[in-house]
Amino acid sequence: MNRFEYASAKSTQQAIGMLSSQWGETEIIAGGTDLLSLMKDDVVAPKRVVNIKEIPGLEGVSFDAQKGLRIGALTRLVDIAESPVVKQHYPRLADDVSDAASPQIRNMATIGGNLCQRPRCWYFRNGLGLLGQQDGKSLVKEGDNRYHAILGNEGPALFVSPSTIAPMLVALNAKVRIVGSSGSREVALENFFRIPKSENEREHDLKPNEIVTDILVPPLPAGAKVGNYEVRQKNAFDWPFATAVAFLQMNGSNVQSARIVMGAVAPVPWVSQEAAQALAGKPVNAQTASAAAAASVSKARALSQNGFKIKLAGVAVKRAILTAAGQHVPDIHEEKGGAA
């Protein structure tokens, strides 16, 4: 590991002062479950690491019936999954968080770090850059791209957004509060994630000397139903092939409006307008869920080795919609044929 300076901030403002205005020079450390691996593997080599865990007030969960849920950025995943308030008011969020990573990781990892974790793309993790390019050519396009993007993959970024919690929070219309030297701002989580166009950009809207301090989730409106589904290679901790979250605003037995967010398919959590439009005004059943699933991948474009993800992403969308509506979702092996 390279030599680096370690600084521990006692306040958000002090932390901001310790951070550089250039990406790469300094890094924030929270739980460290991602940052330390990146440093050990020489993928990032900051000159200074700024610990934010000693800043008071950045952890904990609170709920207000008018304002909704506030989760401090330093709240550990285990504390969100086990929070009585989250379980009561946002049970799908609690389930989703309890499925992320492993118990050991959830005991260390923070929600702020989860949203800011770097992509798992193996070109990036092997030091070949966020865009995986060499001599102007995309190593991802020419190489092993089984797990790469099928949507939003016009390039040059072809990695997939790694957080399995972000799609749920985007579906729930969450915002993040960000604090920097010029004050604080709130950004819809959907707009927080960005598709970088160059190696100098990151996968989010943060400046190098800004900190995510809170995640704010509005109260669930009456008649809202939420469901999610992850298609995984194995039933153990791992990143999924594809995930989807369906947020359905019902009007009687019909969907008034829907928000369908797909994960692990694009460099950002992918909000599918096509799937939402396919469901609007319809009842939820196997046919309408299949139609929405087909719509969700209608613009997907496979790279050389990841065509199978188009099918799996549709499966995740269909099952998330049926789960939201409380309908039986058969085991993945029971279902035969069909687009999803």
| Residue 57 or 326 having the CB closest to ligand FAD | 57
| Residue 26 or 138 having the CB closest to ligand FAD | 26
Least distance CB 256 / ligand FAD (angstroms): 30
| Residue 118 or 225 having the CB closest to ligand FAD | 118
**Helices 308-324 and 286-296, packing angle to 10 deg:** 140
* Residues in CB range of 302: below 8 A, 6 or more apart: 150, 309, 310
Stretch that binds ligand FAD, among 87-95, 101-109, 284-292, 313-321 (CB under 6 A): 101-109
| Residue 263 or 291 having the CB closest to ligand FAD | 263
Tokens encoding 104:
């050991």
State the Cα–Cα distance between residues 174 and 300, nearest whole angstrom.
Answer: 26
* Residues in CB range of 284: below 8 A, 6 or more apart: 248, 255, 321, 322, 324, 325, 327
Least distance CB 298 / ligand FAD (angstroms): 27
- Using left for φ > 0, alpha for ψ between -120 and 50, and beta otherwise, residue 318 falls in alpha
**Residue of 110, 3, 109 whose CA lies nearest to 46:** 3
| Residue 121 or 295 having the CB closest to ligand FAD | 121
State the Cα–Cα distance between residues 5 and 143, nearest whole angstrom.
Answer: 37
Interface size with ligand FAD, residues (CB under 6 A) = 31
Binding mask of the shown chain, residues 237 to 276, with x at each position contacting ligand FAD by CB under 6 A: x-x-------------------------------------
Tell me if 75 sits within 8 A of 61, measured CB to CB. yes
279 binds ligand FAD (CB under 6 A): no
Q: Select from 68, 72, 113, 167 the one that contacts ligand FAD (CB under 6 A).
A: 113
Tell me if 171 sits within 8 A of 229, measured CB to CB. no
State the Cα–Cα distance between residues 241 and 263, nearest whole angstrom.
Answer: 9
Residue 291 half-sphere exposure, CB side, CA atoms within 13 Å?
11
Least distance CB 146 / ligand FAD (angstroms): 17
Stretch that binds ligand FAD, among 83-91, 95-103, 215-223, 253-261 (CB under 6 A): 95-103
| Residue 29 or 244 having the CB closest to ligand FAD | 29
Least distance CB 230 / ligand FAD (angstroms): 8
Least distance CB 213 / ligand FAD (angstroms): 7
Amino acid type, 192: F
Q: Select from 93, 109, 150, 158 the one that contacts ligand FAD (CB under 6 A).
A: 109
| Residue 170 or 258 having the CB closest to ligand FAD | 170
**Residue of 276, 119, 274 whose CA lies nearest to 199:** 119
Tell me if 240 sits within 8 A of 231, measured CB to CB. yes
User: Which of positions 20-79 make contact with ligand FAD (CB under 6 A)?
Assistant: 27-35, 73
H/E segment holding residue 288:
helix 286-296
Q: Output the residue with the shortest Cβ distance to ligand FAD.
A: 113
Q: Select from 145, 164, 209, 288 the one that contacts ligand FAD (CB under 6 A).
A: 164
161 binds ligand FAD (CB under 6 A): no
116 binds ligand FAD (CB under 6 A): yes
* Residues in CB range of 300: below 8 A, 6 or more apart: 150, 151, 265, 309, 310, 313
Q: Under the rule (CB under 6 A), what is the footprint of ligand FAD? A: 27-35, 73, 100-102, 105, 108-110, 112-114, 116-118, 163-165, 206, 211-212, 237, 239
